[in-house]
Amino acid sequence: MFLKPYARSLVVAASLAVLAGCSSTGGTQDGSMDGSGTAGGAGTGTAGTGQVSGTGVNGSGAGQMAGAQIPQGRTIYFDYDSDTIRSEFESLVNSHADYLSSNPNAHVVLQGHTDERGTREYNLALGERRAGAVERYLNLRGVSPSQVEVVSYGEERPAARGSNEDSFAQNRRVVFAY
Amino acid sequence: MRALFASWEGPGGLSTRGAGKSARRMIVGALALVAMAAGSVAQADLTIDITRGNERATPIAVVPFASEAGNLPEDVAQIVADDLERSGYFEPLPRSSMFEQPSSSEEVRYGDWKALETRYMVVGKVSQSGGQAEIQYELLDVNGESRQIGETVTANGSDLRSAAHYISDQIFEEITGIRGAFSTRIAYVTSQGLGDNTQYGLYVADADGQRSQQVLTSDEPIMSPAWSPDGQKLAYVSFETERPSIYVQNLGTGQRVKLTDFEGLNSAPAWSPDGRRLAMALSRDGQPEIYVMDIASRNVQRLTNTNSIETEPAWTPDGQSIIFTSDRSGGPQIYRMSASGGSAERLTYTGNYNARGRISPDGESLFLIHRGNNGYQVAKQDLGTGRLVEISDAQQAESPSVAPNGTMVIFATQQGSTGVLGAVTADGRAQFRLPAAQGDVREPSWSPFLN
């Protein structure tokens, strides 16, 4: 039980490494592969930490311990053309839900982002759909709608540059900005 | 949050006297835009790389204009030649092939130019008196050995570029029968940096990318610039409050207003042809839907009501219909509905990604972004036959905007990993790029006719 969250975050880190194209150097952007260290806190300047290894993920059974502080992991990633929350990010989203439920005065902006492919205004709508999926998930977990706001940036604030799948994957994301 | 905006107005202008054509006199104040506010220094000029020439272009010799006042700040004949080449309709003769440089029709020996297989030629001279430059130019039909235009253009101040574009317009219309669009302008968005350090800019430049003027700068995204039909205002989306809102800015006075501040998306403004209404995509009621705002009253009317994404509205030239992108079928396709709402008719069926449509000025063609085997390209669909053809050969084309005379489409594309503007003739025969000196350039919007 004690080790489980740690093991889980390793799984997250491993899957992110897969997602990042197994480059193994990890040195292209910031080495953390989670994007939030460079640009995940777009426009807020608050969400600057976010090392994947330090997410402090609360397993689903750890509800009693949850909510003391804002979870450190602030960015979740999406598959191409998808607004489905990937299973490896469910526990992270749950920990945000627990935090928000435990802190009714806390407020989060869900910043939706897409990769650069396709038209800008349609992507702006897709980014909103992506962040909206997270918003609905939080609401289902008991978070008050008044605590959550969605702002889509579409493809306007990329976390990574480059027309390759590695960059695309880092840019398809929703950032929790408190 | 930190958004700066600039204004300018145009004391410059030019007037013309016709000889070969009917006499005319005109003032074109809007062409000569002079920076007024500090910070609106031209710094994002675009250059031109022709990437695909038109083999069927008409050969024309634009002979360097003689100058009675020594060196001029601008090479008028070169600007004219570049304009004509960029149009895709003409192939200017290289200067190195000109063995003589006549400056008036009396000096032209037609036989020599026929030998160069030149169909038309332009000759001229520039003189200066006071603060004014007088440009006498003639358009000659080499085969017919006749003069088609003889005209004197007076440019106020040193505004030779506007005069040159005006001459290009006259030549283009005389030969093709199509009104020239060289004296128009483009608006576009720039960005530099990555993540939190990104700086966004909104610029307006001449249609050839020169004489750029900064309209707005911000550390939050700027999107979707759209010209009002009178050419005096831009609508755009700015995130400067960390939420997207639609603004309208008067380019002459710099005055601007925040038009929308609804919850959710405030995006994709598109002016009605009469300039009184703006179509837009708002998500205040849930999913993004198409709305029309009456600008004077600020009343907003919802036109679509679906569970899908509806965005990227554009008006048909008659103002009767609105086209838009919807993914109600599963992927983005383009639809058309009455400007007062009601049921929508699907227009695109080729492929599974068709978005961001714009209708040609004659109402007969739809320009759009189509994803096919060559990735995202500008495509043209004949609205009569429904046939769709890709016209660009570019990397990740976006944001097509049609010239007011319908002959060209400007769009955003990539060169390496840098955003640049591209343009292609409406028939796809000629294509060029307009790279910026630094940073990314995107979302071009072609102005209406300004004169």
Does B77 lie in the same domain as B213?
no
Domain presence at residue B143? yes
Q: How far is CA B414 from CA B52, B148, B392, B398, in A?
A: 16, 41, 12, 9
- What is residue A127's three-state secondary structure? helix
Range in A10-19, B136-145, B364-373 with the lowest mean pLDDT: A10-19
Say what the pLDDT of residue B266 is. 98
Number of Cβ atoms within 10 Å of the Cβ of B47: 13
Over range B66-78, report the average pLDDT: 88
Does B219 lie in the same domain as B128?
no
Residue B307 is part of which domain span?
185-446
- Secondary structure element (H or E) that encloses residue B139, with its range: strand B132-141
* Neighbouring residues of B224: CB distance < 8 A, sequence distance ≥ 6: A120, A121, B235, B236, B237, B267, B268, B269, B443
Q: Determine the residue among A113, A116, A119 to mutate to test chain B binding: the one whose Cβ has the most chain B Cβ atoms within 10 Å.
A: A119
Find the angle CA(B379)-CA(B380)-CA(B385) to the nearest 5 degrees.
135
Does B264 lie in the same domain as B144?
no
What CATH number is given for A4-177 in this structure?
3.30.1330.60
Indicate which CATH number applies to the domain containing B361.
Answer: 2.120.10.30
Q: Per the structure, how many domains does chain B have?
A: 2
Query: In this predicted model, which residue has the larger pLDDT, A94 or B31?
Result: A94
Tell me how far apart the alpha carbons of residues B42 and B45 are, in angstroms, rounded to a whole number: 7
Query: Residue B313 — pLDDT band, cuts 50, 70, 90?
Result: very high
Over range B329-351, report the average pLDDT: 97
pLDDT for B125 beyond 90: yes
Domain presence at residue B2? no
Q: Do B332 and A119 touch (CB under 8 A)?
A: yes
pLDDT for B182 beyond 50: yes
Q: Do B288 and A159 touch (CB under 8 A)?
A: no
The residue count for chain A: 178
Tell me how far apart the alpha carbons of residues B374 and B396 are, in angstroms, rounded to a whole number: 9
Report the residue from B242, B268, B414 with minimal CB separation from A43: B242
Question: Any idea of the CA torsion for B334, B339, B344, B347, to the nearest 10 degrees?
Answer: -30
Token pair 């302008």 in the structure block, residue: B185
Tell me how far apart the alpha carbons of residues B87 and B397 are, in angstroms, rounded to a whole number: 20
Type of residue numbered B440: D
Does B385 lie in the same domain as B292?
yes
Query: In this predicted model, which residue has the larger pLDDT, B423 or B73?
Result: B423
Domain presence at residue B12? no
Q: Which of B126, B155, B176 is the last residue of a domain?
A: B176
Domain presence at residue B30? no
Nearest to A167 by CA among A100, A94, A99, A117: A117
Does B133 lie in the same domain as B203?
no
- Secondary structure element (H or E) that encloses residue B412, with its range: strand B408-415
Q: Return phi, psi of residue B180, to 5°.
A: -75, 150
Nearest CA of chain A to the CA of B163: how many Å? 36
Say what the pLDDT of residue B337 is. 98
Domain presence at residue B357? yes
Residues B406, B367 contacting (CB under 8 angstroms):
no
Does B290 lie in the same domain as B192?
yes
Domain presence at residue B228? yes
Domain presence at residue B112? yes
Does B149 lie in the same domain as B87?
yes
Share of chain B above pLDDT 90, in %: 79
pLDDT for B228 beyond 60: yes
Query: Residue A163 — pLDDT band, cuts 50, 70, 90?
Result: confident
Does B192 lie in the same domain as B172?
no
pLDDT for A21 beyond 50: no
What ipTM describes this predicted complex? Answer: 0.89
Does B194 lie in the same domain as B166?
no
Does B253 lie in the same domain as B399?
yes
Tell me how far apart the alpha carbons of residues B174 and B22 are, in angstroms, rounded to a whole number: 12
Token pair 């106020």 in the structure block, residue: B156
pLDDT for B12 beyond 50: no
Does B236 lie in the same domain as B108?
no
Q: Report DSSP state, residue A147.
A: G
Chain B contact residues (CB < 8 Å to A): 194-196, 198, 220-221, 223-224, 239, 242-244, 264-265, 267-268, 281, 283, 287-288, 309, 311-312, 325, 327, 332, 353, 355-356, 369, 371, 376, 395-396, 398-399, 414, 417, 442-443
Q: Which of B150, B176, B202 is the last residue of a domain?
A: B176
Q: Which of B123, B158, B176 is the last residue of a domain?
A: B176
Query: Each residue of B145-154: pLDDT tens digit?
Result: 999 999 999 9
Does B389 lie in the same domain as B368?
yes
pLDDT for B429 beyond 60: yes
pLDDT for B246 beyond 80: yes
Nearest CA of chain A to the CA of B262: how many Å? 12
Over range B189-196, report the average pLDDT: 88
Query: Residue B6 — pLDDT band, cuts 50, 70, 90?
Result: low
Going through B228-373 in order, the beta strands assigned E by DSSP cover: 233-238, 245-250, 256-260, 266-271, 277-282, 289-294, 299-302, 310-315, 321-326, 333-338, 341-346, 354-359, 365-372
Query: Each residue of B257-309: pLDDT tens digit?
Result: 999 999 999 999 999 999 999 999 999 999 999 999 999 999 999 999 999 99
Domain presence at residue B50? no
- DSSP string computed for B172-194: HHHHHSS---TT-EEEEEEEESS
Indicate which CATH number applies to the domain containing B168.
Answer: 3.40.50.10070
